[in-house]
Structure 1
Amino acid sequence: MNRNFTKEILEFNVDDKISTLNESWQKKERLRFIDTKLFWTGTIRRSEICEAFQIHWTNASKDLTLYQKLAEKNVIYDKNAKIYRTTSEFGSISKSHSLLNLLAYTNLDMPCHGYIPNLLFSVNIPVRQPDTEIVRDILQSAHNESAIEINYRSMANPDGKIRYIYPQTIIFDGLRWHLRAYDESHGDYRDFVLSRIKRTGSTKERNVYPPDAEWHKVSWLEIRPHSKLTDKQKKMIEYDYSMQNSSLKIEVRNATAQYLIRVLNLDTNLEPPRQQIECVNLKEFDSY
């Protein structure tokens, strides 16, 4: 069985005009820095490249010259201010521009965050951090395609209960980490909160178990502005979520639909203005 230890990551080095260059990785990163700085602020100085990457001004000048060759109409040099400015014909040559990427650069303390200092802030939400040694044991079990014994705490068994599981996929829902695994004792696939695994124990050889149908089945969860909002409020929410025809369809694996529903508060009885969207087809996901 294919092991799906996937993770959602921000793509900093996606396929773009810069990635096709026959240049070093370091130079490509500096070119992306230049392009991103120009995209967000409209200007760049040679000194900013030197400071961000700790390079000599001659190397920064070469980077700017190469960038101008790649995008001739993107920038002009203001001799009086000694700064490069974008033109009205500016077109980014990188594909990684989003606020999420920008925030990630900041959180990771990568050099590319230096061009907009102190303007980005991420709320410090408490994330339930699982024990790294337990996660390591689970990853190794998945890699070896073996079952692993866990002592799992739940609301029904807060002291813990011994189970043998076959780990499949680690999932992050924005607040906590989950493990999708085949539960040998129940004979089906279940989700386990990683931070509730008290300890791991012995492993045993792989047994025969069915494929995870709900993981591979994909559905569309449709949301729309809450019906109790005014027409003007609905238009605002449509704009917030980039809705088309007053709704937004979100592709979701059936096995993870419960997390999306919970994050969007679609399973609550909250009224506007606290709840601003509702699910059109929520009943389709009742079993999850």
Structure 2
Amino acid sequence: MADIKGHAFHGLVEKHGIQSAERLAYIDFLLRFTGGLSRSDITNFFGLGDAAASKEISFYKAQKENNVDYDRVLRRNGILRETYQPLVDIDADTALGMLANGFNKTKLQHKPIIPYSRVGNSPKILDVDLVSKVTRAISSKNIIKCHYMSGSSSNHGERTLVPTTIFFDGISWMFRAFHRESNEFKCFNFSRLKEVEECPQDFANNNETIESDADWQLTTLVHLTLHPSLTDKKKAEIRQEYDLDIDQDEFVVSEKAALIYYLVWHWKIDTADTPDMNSSYNFFLGNGNTLKHLKCMENVFR
């Protein structure tokens, strides 16, 4: 599939009007990032009847006839990977946000309702073509073959992954996948992806789906105490930030076991057996002994 930019959304609005532009953009979005759509996707999202939804899909095909074809077996309109060219220009960060939170034409217009800025944007712009291959695989439960620049391993060879879900760790967009070579589920950073090859005829096995990912399905309690190395002033600031009572030193949060590593990193949690008094931690982990038995905690307790 060629990595060619589409039109800016405002160009579609000028040409077809806001209503048609939004419907065209939605169809293009579903094709590109989920791999296909059915008529019910249009009827449910826009509240249209079946005939009107069919008309919208036909109108899209008239704009981009080489993007989509009807699959009579799956009974849905599927992307034509080799010839697809995006109708609407969209960056990977916006696309991932809408996959997580719902399609929003305002995001395509880049016009926030009130002044807005995002701190700490990575200088590396995610490759929207690579991202779309991963998200299509998630939607279709297919595998991908890719090269991944791991920060914890020198093995940068080809990997066979079964992507299952996306998540945002507070800084970066990530995805979870079953890694066939190691026979386990792992988390991957979109920014570390290199070449990605889709394998639309190779489907996930039962043990490779998100339902079989025990560490993703398990939500566990994390017992936290304000770190004893903190000054009274710093403790008061953290109580305010985390909505604790004025004299509260302990609290409990729940998190997916697979994501506790990121919680520890971003919240500055001390996971040692005893608190490190010469540190800049915010919290001390009080129930580390009950979490250590989980395999996904290996990086947490290094």
TM-score norm. by structure 1 comes to: 0.53
Deviation at 1:255, TM superposition (A): 0.7
- Corresponding residue for residue 20 of structure 1: none
Equivalence map 1:181-200=2 (5 Å) = 181-200=177-196
Q: 1:206 aligns with which of 192, 203, 207?
A: 203
Tell whether 2:259 aligns with 1:256: yes
Does the CA contact (< 8 Å) of 2:146 and 2:158 recur in 1? yes
Q: Which has the larger radius of gyration?
A: 1
* CA separation of 1:139 and 1:258: change in aligned 2, threshold 3 A: same
| Alignment partner of 1:168 is 2:174 | no
267 and 168 in structure 1: CA distance in 2 versus 1, 3 angstrom threshold: farther
Give the counterpart letter for 2:182 in structure 1: H
Aligned equivalents of 2:118, 2:147: Cα separation in 1: 34
Matches within 5 A, 1:1-288: 109-111=111-113, 113=114, 122-126=118-122, 129-155=125-151, 160-203=156-199, 204-210=201-207, 211-230=212-231, 234-243=235-244, 245-267=248-270, 274-286=280-292, 287=295, 288=297
Amino acid at match of 1:275: Y
CA contact (8 A) 2:146 2:195 kept: yes
Find the aligned partners of 1:225 and 1:247 in 2 and give their Cα distance.
6
Deviation at 1:276, TM superposition (A): 3.2
Deviation at 1:226, TM superposition (A): 1.3
Q: Which residue of 2 aligns with 1:25?
A: none
Deviation, structure 1 residue 241: 1.7
Distance 1:155 1:276, change over 3 A: closer
Q: Provide the aligned length of Structure 1 versus Structure 2.
A: 179
Letter of the 1:281 partner, please give it.
N
| Contact 1:257-1:285 within 8 A present in 2 as well | no
Which residue identity does 2:265 align to in structure 1?
A: R
Displacement after TM superposition at 1:243 (Å): 2.3
CA shift for structure 1 position 125: 4.5
Contact 1:127 1:175 (8 Å CA) reproduced: no
* 1:127 CA displacement: 6.6
How far, CA to CA, are the matches of 1:226 and 1:167 in structure 2? 37
Q: How big is the shift at 1:173?
A: 0.7
What amino acid is aligned across from residue 203 of structure 2 in structure 1?
A: R
- 1:221 is displaced (CA, Å) by 1.4
Mapped to 1, the partners of 2:228 and 2:239 lie a distance apart of: 12
Asked whether the 8 Å contact 1:222–1:280 carries over to 2, the reply is: yes
Residue 254 of structure 2 aligns to a residue whose secondary structure is: strand
Partner deviation per Cα, 1:140-197 (whole Å, 9 max, x = no partner): 1122211111111213655721111111111111111211001111111111111111
Q: Distance in 1 between matches of 2:204 and 2:214?
A: 18
Higher helix share: 2
Secondary structure in structure 1 of the residue aligned to 2:137 = helix
- Deviation string, structure 1 residues 184-224 (Cα, Å, up to 9, x no partner): 11111111111111111141421424211110100121222
Q: Distance in 2 between matches of 1:161 and 1:256?
A: 25
Q: 1:132 to 1:242 in 2, by over 3 A?
A: same
Change (3 A) 1:132 1:272: same
How much has 1:271 moved relative to structure 2?
A: 5.2
- Inter-partner Cα distance in structure 1 for 2:130 and 2:165: 15
User: How far apart, CA to CA, are the structure 1 residues paired with 2:155 and 2:218?
Assistant: 34
Contact 2:137 2:198 in 1 (8 A): no
Q: TM-score, normalised by structure 2?
A: 0.51
Change (3 A) 1:233 1:157: closer
SS in 2 for 1:165: strand
**Stretch moving more, 240-249 or 178-187:** 240-249
